[in-house]
Structure 1
Amino acid sequence: MNIDYNQLNHTVLGSGPMGYLISSLLSKKLDEVSLWIPDAKVVEDLQRSRTVKILKNQSRIPDNVNIVSDLAEYERNSWVFHIAVPSRFLEETVRNLIDLLTPDQDYIFSIFTKGLLSHKSRRLTGVYSFSDFVSKLLLDKKIKNSAVCVVNGPSLLQEMLEEQNTFLNVGCKDTKTAEFIADIYKNSYIQTSTTTEIESMEMAGVLKNPIAIACGIVSALPNCGSNLQGELIQTGFQEMLQFARAMHLSTESFYGRSGLSDLITTAVSRKSRNRNYGRKMVGQLMVGPENLSILEKIEVWVRPEEFIEREVSKWSDTVEGAFALGNILELANEKNIQLPLYQVLFDVLSRKSPPQAIESLLTGAKSDFSIEKMVGVKKKGMDYAAGNDFKNVLENRILKQVQSSPGFMTRIKKQSTSIVATIEKRVQRLSRKKSQDEVTHFSKELHRWVNFQNSNRESEIVKLRELIDFYVNEIADHYKPSVRESLIKVIAPFRFFSGGLKYGSVSPHLGGEIDQIKKLSKKYNILYAPTHRSHLDSVELAYGLNKLQLPIPRYAAGSNLMTTPFWEWMLKSLGAYSVDRERTRNSLYLECLTIYSTVLLESGIPSLVYPEGTRSRTGGIVSIKTGILKTAVDAFRNTGSEIIVVPVALSYETVPEDAQFCGENEKLGMQDFLSRRSNVYMDFCEPIPISEHMGNDDPTITIGYEIQKGWANYHRILPNQLLCKILMENEMAIHLSTLNDLIEEFISHNPGNYLTEDPELIVRQGLKSIRKRKIVQIENDFVQAIRPDLITYYGTMVPANDTSGF
């Protein structure tokens, strides 16, 4: 073999994310790179747009990447083929390609794809690995000047996109070729190494992926934390070594970059596609038992590997571990190798066993669990119960908590002096305002605190119960479904007329994971966690949930909104419970409030919280107050019944309070809210089961992280927001002729959930909105800001797609 490395052309085979990424990496070192994609229509679109989405990131295909769809392009010249096609397409693609090659040219095959040959190909060729398969086809074609390499190592696609440290190992029997390929891939953040143990390092790369799927599965099960996952990785690694020894492979690569290093990375990282598939599969099973057809049930028992492959094909990302699993076990059976973990995983993926079977294998404990028994389901028939129905339960629970917590009673007694003084000042202030109803209310509270303050040991429990009774009565909702239904119908025509009789005037535009949330809500309790942008949020949620017939939640409302008997009756009938923000230092009141919201969730009553705590004054996502989520965690711990947190992204074209948030002393009436409201979008983010996070030291932190990530991913980026963002980045003035190019450039570099990516439509709709709000003017074909503060407010609504503020 005498390959002329200087005469080699480079092409990447594969239309998946890794194919796009490799072609982009090579384009920075080479004058020209070819990218082969089998679909001619996709090629035509890419040649025109030069942009592609990789893991929700919008990326531009470099100009020196030539996109083609015909393998005949490679009949001439010498080539390096960088293979990144999905494993199930590799055999056919390589066969068709090598048929076209000429024996007098030089060729290198660099294989990124991880997998094993199908049973048929193993029988026909006598080999089982992709590298041996390619080598045999080259030999049959009598192509002598050729080499085959395999590339793997800790190289998560998302981290490579983010240019984080990456490590690749290049295996090739020819050292010079391995070093040549390693040098091509090496850059400022990619470190490379080489080995001649190609068979061992290739098999290590194949075997680790199923273990990552198993790790994802157990990470989504209750009571399965990092300890169990560590045991799973150890068990899986031992089976990998056992397989290697039985196949007479060197185990040195298994302990290095291609083996142990890549295994740990893939098994524990949230960015791992194989791990995420395992978690997603459990999440889908939690929605409810799968209704398999008769043919599917037969397929599970007769051809389970085909059932697994079909299920995995529905997944948006390539999950090579699932495609390789059947071939691994088939080869192991042929060689008489026992792989218990791989076999149990196969049974779980083919629905012969529940996910807990993996846990049972590792712990030795027998399990009769089914998916239905993974976590408790919600109590039936409680959706319409009112908070005051639990009055006695609440009072007893609060009193027990105070008595059983060391030092709590003493702390309340010590606080009583300052609390009495605070209430006295409040009563005096309300007397001056002539708020007689409030004066009467807080005078009753004052009387109870004075009695408690003066009580002795024999009477303090009685006086404490009187205080608890007062607070529970004040807090508890009086939910009446008929009142809510009537109010929704009464207000609907006003919203419709004020919205210009257009679609979306009454209910917000709905999107996101609606079907999944509907299924989950039938079995599990729901905690809605929306973004907080306006006083309209609760109204929009009410109309959206009502339209979808999703469970209506209880929610907190400021006591300042319940200053008259009518408004208190109205809001509590709608499902609001009262929160007095002036009592932040009253530990007894805060305990009553916490236990109230916890008991609602324990009872199967859906709830709503705003994790940001207050409306965003900037337009962007506000740092989450994780303490708000503690009641959901406590409710799960107390009952074992699953609670599904549903982040909701509310996206406003116009927020009625926008001027207030920009510092103007503007008072808004009901008519202002109705007239300023324009398009509102309500998107349900990926649901978050509380049970998945109970293994963490502080579940509220990781749940908060997932909520904020969901908001950023599902928030609709509206045309007016995008135009404001671009104005912010261009000193508040843009010439109309440059707008389209600026929009295209922004979208290509900033992934997001855009309402539309059509520049002309964005300009037309966006300008209409911001001109109507009178925050820009157009003079001499220049779009200029009139209200820079409002431009900044709406521009900040474009998510940064990170959680740095959390």
Structure 2
Amino acid sequence: MAIRSQFKKISIIGAGSWGTSIALTIAETYPDITIYMWAYEKNVVSSINSRHENIQFLPNVILPTNIRATGSIREAVSDSDVILISTPSKVIPDIAQRIHKHLDPKSHVGFLTKGFCKYQDEVLTISQTIGKIIPELKDRVVAIYGPSHAEEVSLHYHTCLNVAGKNVTSRKIFIHFLSSHSIQCRETDDIIGVEMGGTLKNPAAIAAGMISVLPNCGDNLSGALISEALKEMLKIGRLFNVRDETIIDISGLGDLVATALSDHSRNRRFGKDIGLQIIEKGNALRFIDRVLLRFKPQFVLEKMSENLHYLAEGAYAIEPLIELAEANGISIPVYRSLYEVLLNKKDPSLLIETIKNPDKFEEIYRRTKIQISDKKKGLENVGGRAFRSIIEGRVLSSFIAADGSSSDTPIPLESVINNINELRNQSSLYGSSVEENKRLNAITDKNYEKPLKRLINHYVDDVADLYTVFFNRTGMIILSFLRVINRLSGNGGILDISGDVDQIRNLSDMGNPLYVCSYSSISDLFILIFSIKKARLPFPRFMVDSDKVKTSLEKMAIKLMGGFIIDASKINNIVYREVVKQYLSTLTENGVPFLYFPEIAHKTSVQNAIGADSFYSMISDIIFRHTVEILLIPMELSYASSMDESILSLMALRKHMSRSAMINFSEPAFLSEFTKETESITTLGEKVQKIWKRDKKIFPHVMVSKILQDNNFEIELKQLESASYKYFRILQVSPPSKMKKFLNAGVNSLKKEKTIIKENGMLKVLKRMEVENYAALLLK
């Protein structure tokens, strides 16, 4: 009774389902005490105060009138000697700092939150975090843990709780307020042990939810999971010198069983949702969506982009645990396998097989690929600009978190502001239009969100394609017409397409095609896309350097055909660069093929940061983030003759399309195969370079010209074959199976042009410039 008369106000920070249930328990038992609840969400504050119900987190439960909600930490905490924290673990450091400003140093602080905190580069328990931020509390910090679903507590189901803390008085105070006819409190001083049990069971519950929906997994495997998880909980607990009996008590084993097996458990629900995402691979558009796609593409795309938002919380819960284990050399294979499935998108078979045989985790891990969803179908003909809102949202979230900060963003907002300020001082690297300059100038360290959105919008419009089937077909007809005209006029060259295009066509239903080709000039582009269309392969969006597009009409025509345009002058602009990356990422994720030149950074000024290394890094991120299968298709292009390739015009295009060329489609590869530990997606660039060299087709007269050039423009015929083999070895290109026939074709071609003559068993050059031009093609 003394305790009851001493306190007139109790504060609960956090108005989720569990915090609300505890507020209900205390308010019903002590109607003369006011319970102040702090809620982040304004609608929760309103519903509790006006309707006496937490509609968002604990609906259909009427709350006593002595519960008051507020959005002010100060109002909630001031003059309160008993405070209970019930916020997510991720925000505990921030909440503790905010509470500290208004806290009576003699207060008693309890917490209902389970999890680890990352504070000042350390992995800490909740009590350790609060103790560091509010040192004057000393030992007056109490953990309230145990198997306690909010839904059951609010209905007065019988419940057992551990009340743990070093300070006896603090423990007694919380036991006094929490005890009721349905709640029994067990007192202990092993606060770290209680925290370990309550925190470590969460990942196991996620794993239990996941396997509950995976094929051929049932109660038998769940039992094995609980057993293995308990072993690993004991291992981690001993690291913190906690008592084993605490781990196997209600806040450890008891909470593990309840959380892992009950559908009330949010962790189990999270695991089930992730499991269902993995096994539900139907990404084809429904008929109604296909119809809507023609009229409201953005509506359909936004609906498809909606997904679970649990993952960040699940990742936050398990990452510190893995860090602790690795830092201390502790083997926790079941938790590690869950981490790999959740964060690194490994196939869930890793989790299943590890539960069955945890001692063989490393072996199982090495042979496990990432989980792959079926290719999305039905979006291949959607223009890139239709993805605008998705791209804009992703770019913005790269800089600004949901709460307006940049604390957990890949690219700190401060870096973006500094980058824009630097560009202001380099006029040559600043905006290329009045409108762009206006949007850049509007961004400051105090006013950034809306101006940044406008700038991103501007860049998306500048980069994204405007693909339509009609204009694409029109463009292909024009290219075909140009080749026909050239042939009729006697200037048409051959176009030799090789490779197993039938295999690529079949495999493209299983993965999103990504064509990669070495880069020589703008003319390559039109020969390549024409060849892809002629081979009846999925048509890609394709990249064009803005320097090669001189007029607005050319730019529009390129975009309508499916081209996206990159401005070389903006490579140092962080916002622009992120727009390009997210644009390509969004295309790939949604099943839209594209053609890219990874090595273009070495040929032009385009894409410092989106050159070969960064490009493959981006592709790796797409695979792991969105679990999409990508079908990598290396292409090789060889010309029979050289020409001025620096400009883009209709007349120049006609000349480009008259050239003889050989295009080879190399054997495709599914990039998920590179996600095993024994393979690395980071080596893709090297592998593609080797494929380009190996499979490159060489015109016979080009090889003969190179040999002649390097032998002072004459050579004995009998030496030609050995010299040719030498060059194929140097170039690391597979030689033709019939070398003599290959060389005879080259010699005859040059003789026909009267570029060389055959005399006394010798080949001699008559036109050195022509031979030099042909020879130069060998190294392109």
TM-score by length of 1: 0.46
TM-score by length of 2: 0.47
Q: Compare relative contact order (CA 8 Å, sep 6+) and give the higher one, 1 or 2.
A: 1
Structure with larger Rg: 2
